[in-house]
Chains A and B, each alone.
Chain A
Amino acid sequence: MGISTEPYSPDKTPKKHPLSLQLDVSKFEKATDEEKKQADVMSESTSFFRDGMRRLMKNPLAVFSIIVLIAIIATILIAPRVVPYSYSEIITVNGRRDKSATNLAPFTYSKMEQQYMAQGGKVFPHIMGTDELGRDYFIRVIYGTRISLTVGVFAALIVLIIGILYGSISGYFGGKVDLIMMRIVDVIYSLPDLLMIILLSVVLNEIIKPTGNGLLARLGTNMISLFIVFGLLYWVGMARLVRGQILTIKQNDYVLAARVSGAKSSHIIRKHILPNCISVIIISAALQIPSAIFTESFLSFIGLGVKAPMPSLGSLASAARSGITTYTYKLIFPSIMIALITLAFNLLGDGLRDAFDPKLRR
């Protein structure tokens, strides 16, 4: 059988039967030389960071959590400027304290407010209702989120800094230094954290007694002791992680190759060790934030959190517990907030790990 030497032309293909599954060749066009060349070259090479970001952006859950987090952060930054209520003040209508505005359901108005509105006044709606003292609940949840997020980020930062320093010293120098430093970590690991927080807040209450109106004073000693406990206890996990990372990276032949080239320790740490463990550190920091938020909420819930009237998501939920049957929404709003933040950070952390972990790519 001879192969037709005639040049291929899509017009000459036999007519397609309407029910046939035969491909309609005319719908395809020949690849141009330029397109063929494109297939030759491998996928466009990008930097590690950009490559990771691209991968992250392909992960719908991670993108969703980034959007949620941005929305939350934007809300807690903008809302206090828009909403005319304060987290610590009872609602006033036309300069008079409104005593009837307690325990309002979302988007309802008290009698005074209704009268005022009937006279033509404007009242900003209570998006989440009001609490038992007549404070706007929405702004309290916003401030609670602010506190919880700040605590989470700062606690994670404390953990990150102490953990990286301690872990990298232990891992890089190895030997006896490593042995002693890691035994200290083991001892710290075995201390019960909750007990430490309770003890510290009692002791700190006696020692520092923050006065004035600074942020520390408004947060209260419990919060300070929470930070101190994070600084004292929670870094051990990070330190172990960093040490383990450095120990494995040190074993790699490329570190040896750099030494063969005559590179100094500082060069090796900067160019080889840090870039290869930074992603793991970032990921675990991202996962550290929700765990800190969760700890804070939990402590506030059992009454060891921020000082009243400063709200935090945990203390709001705790306060709402008493009226759970009648005012369920007061528990639901802060809980949803905690859940959203924790979930978003966790999913983002997972997405970051999938996108940046060098072990998953090769």
Chain B
Amino acid sequence: MEEKFTPDSQYLVQAHDMKMYFPIKTGWFHSKPLKAVDGVSFDIRPGETLGLVGESGCGKTTVGRTLLRLYNPTGGEVYFDGKKVDAKSIGGLRKDMQMVFQDPYSSLNPRMTVEDIIGEPLDVHKLYTSRQDRRDKILHLMELVGLNAEHATRYAHEFSGGQRQRIGIARALATNPRFIVCDEAVSALDVSIQAQVINMFEDLQKQLGVAYLFIAHDLLVVHHISKRIAVMYLGRMVETADSNELNSNPIHPYTQSLLSAVPYPDPKQAKERKRIILEGDVPSPLNMPSGCPFRTRCRYATDECKAKMPPLTDRGGGHMVACWNK
């Protein structure tokens, strides 16, 4: 079939042709695969942020979770620091790969104090020498994310959304990971808190050199934090480019429409620009259109798009686009 994929040592995380299908029951004995992620490849350098955008239900979260092997992938390979991530090796890699969750309410156990929530990864990996050491480490983490030391003995329900998200981030940082998946980590927060948390993410990256996979549906947020951005549509990657390049020169029609939907703070500018409004609904991932998944809503769709799925091709300077249109 295809040639064997060899990991590149300059990348921290490499996903190659990652596939995740979920069986959906259609009857008592029949099931159909739901192709949540269908052949996604990307790589992230140490200390870099890759933004992952796309509308709801396009498989962004599944990408993040499959990457951390919370799901058993249907196909493809993930490499972390040159090592293949599989059922055997993941145990040793958990320490280096962490996750921040979207919902700050359900991601913290209501029965545990902040100290125990942040300390859990430390407990699991036995990363302390004494109780005092554990406490010192937890307090240091809390300070790092801007929480007061006296919050340590409180329960999660005593905090606001932003503070809860900080607790979740402190937990993710506890094992001193090199890579964190931020799964819509700021989507549940209001705008002013979003800014605080995003700035904190950036500061932490500068201080600790962590790499992020920053999943969001808000292009502005992703543009702010990411060096590179990947756009997903229906389980596939349609465009990957440098953050600024993508912003100024979007090639894929889906990216163009996404960018045109970003709200402008200046009403004058907002009036002038043209909005590309997509027609129709997202096709069901259970019943994907033939060829390019976007063709049902694309203005430029041709017969070629109907026949074959466009591959991701380099349009210069690492700007990868999956579209038949030149």
Please list the residues of chain A having a beta carbon within 8 angstroms of any beta carbon in chain B.
41-42, 45, 48, 252-254, 256-263, 267, 271-272, 275-276, 358, 361-362
Taking the nearest CB of chain A, how far is it from the CB of B292, in angstroms?
33
Taking the nearest CB of chain A, how far is it from the CB of B283, in angstroms?
27
A45-B99 contact, Cβ under 8 Å, with A257-B107, A271-B120: no
Residues of B with C-beta under 8 A to A272: 109, 111
Q: In the complex the two chains form, what is the Cα distance from A272 to B107 in whole Å?
A: 11
Taking the nearest CB of chain B, how far is it from the CB of A41, in angstroms?
7
Residues of A with C-beta under 8 A to B168: 257
Residues of A with C-beta under 8 A to B62: none
Taking the nearest CB of chain A, how far is it from the CB of B157, in angstroms?
5
Taking the nearest CB of chain B, how far is it from the CB of A354, in angstroms?
16
What 8 additional pairs, Cβ within 8 angstroms, besides A48-B155, A253-B101? Answer: A45-B154, A253-B102, A259-B70, A261-B124, A262-B95, A275-B109, A275-B111, A276-B110
Closest chain A residue to B117, Cβ basis: A254
Binary CB contact string for chain B from 92 to 111 against chain A (1 if under 8 A, 0 otherwise) = 00110111011101111111
Closest chain A residue to B65, Cβ basis: A256
Q: Which 10 A-B pairs have the closest CB atoms?
A: A262-B94, A253-B107, A261-B121, A275-B111, A254-B109, A45-B154, A253-B101, A253-B106, A260-B99, A252-B106
Q: In the complex the two chains form, what is the Cα distance from A358 to B155 in whole Å?
A: 12
Instruction: List, sorted by A's number, 22 A–B pairs whose CB atoms are closer than 8 Å.
Output: A45-B158, A48-B111, A48-B155, A253-B101, A253-B102, A253-B103, A253-B107, A254-B106, A256-B65, A256-B101, A256-B107, A257-B107, A257-B168, A260-B70, A261-B175, A262-B95, A262-B121, A271-B120, A272-B109, A276-B109, A276-B111, A362-B157
| Chain A facing B: main interface SS | helix
Residues of B with C-beta under 8 A to A41: 150
B68 interface hit (Cβ, 8 Å) = yes
Q: Which residue of the partner chain, among A252, A254, A263, A275, contacts B124 with CB atoms under 8 Å?
A: A263
B41 interface hit (Cβ, 8 Å) = no
Residues of A with C-beta under 8 A to B102: 253
Q: Which of B98, B110, B117, B158 has the most CB of A within 10 A?
A: B110
Taking the nearest CB of chain A, how far is it from the CB of B320, in angstroms?
29
Taking the nearest CB of chain A, how far is it from the CB of B124, in angstroms?
5
Closest chain B residue to A252, Cβ basis: B106
Residues of A with C-beta under 8 A to B110: 48, 276, 358
Report whether B171 and A257 are in contact in the complex, using a CB–CB cutoff of 8 Å.
Answer: yes
The count of chain B contact residues (Cβ–Cβ below 8 Å) is 36
Residues of A with C-beta under 8 A to B97: 260
B244 interface hit (Cβ, 8 Å) = no
Residues of A with C-beta under 8 A to B154: 42, 45
Closest chain A residue to B108, Cβ basis: A254
Residues of B with C-beta under 8 A to A267: 124
Residues of A with C-beta under 8 A to B171: 257, 261
Q: In the complex the two chains form, what is the Cα distance from A355 to B234 in whole Å?
A: 45
A256-B95 contact, Cβ under 8 Å, with A45-B153, A262-B121: no
Residues of B with C-beta under 8 A to A45: 113, 153-155, 158
Q: In the complex the two chains form, what is the Cα distance from A42 to B150 in whole Å?
A: 10
Q: Which residue of the partner chain, among B101, B125, B175, contacts A257 with CB atoms under 8 Å?
A: B101
Q: In the complex the two chains form, what is the Cα distance from A257 to B70 in whole Å?
A: 10
Closest chain A residue to B120, Cβ basis: A261
Residues of A with C-beta under 8 A to B267: none
Residues of B with C-beta under 8 A to A262: 91, 94-95, 121, 124-125
Q: In the complex the two chains form, what is the Cα distance from A257 to B65 in whole Å?
A: 11
Q: In the complex the two chains form, what is the Cα distance from A257 to B99 in whole Å?
A: 7
Closest chain B residue to A251, Cβ basis: B106
Closest chain A residue to B180, Cβ basis: A260
Taking the nearest CB of chain A, how far is it from the CB of B215, in angstroms?
14
Taking the nearest CB of chain B, how far is it from the CB of A240, in angstroms?
22
Q: In the complex the two chains form, what is the Cα distance from A280 to B177 in whole Å?
A: 37
Closest chain B residue to A274, Cβ basis: B111
Residues of A with C-beta under 8 A to B155: 45, 48
Closest chain A residue to B148, Cβ basis: A41
Taking the nearest CB of chain A, how far is it from the CB of B119, in angstroms?
10
Report whether B95 and A254 are in contact in the complex, using a CB–CB cutoff of 8 Å.
Answer: no
Closest chain B residue to A253, Cβ basis: B107
Taking the nearest CB of chain B, how far is it from the CB of A259, in angstroms?
6
Binary CB contact string for chain B from 224 to 240 against chain A (1 if under 8 A, 0 otherwise) = 00000000000000000
Residues of A with C-beta under 8 A to B112: 271
Taking the nearest CB of chain B, how far is it from the CB of A249, in angstroms?
9
Residues of A with C-beta under 8 A to B175: 261
Closest chain B residue to A358, Cβ basis: B110
Report whether A42 and B158 are in contact in the complex, using a CB–CB cutoff of 8 Å.
Answer: yes
Q: In the complex the two chains form, what is the Cα distance from A272 to B174 in whole Å?
A: 19
Binary CB contact string for chain B from 164 to 180 against chain A (1 if under 8 A, 0 otherwise) = 00001001001100000
Residues of A with C-beta under 8 A to B150: 41
Taking the nearest CB of chain B, how far is it from the CB of A215, in angstroms?
39
Residues of B with C-beta under 8 A to A254: 106-109, 117
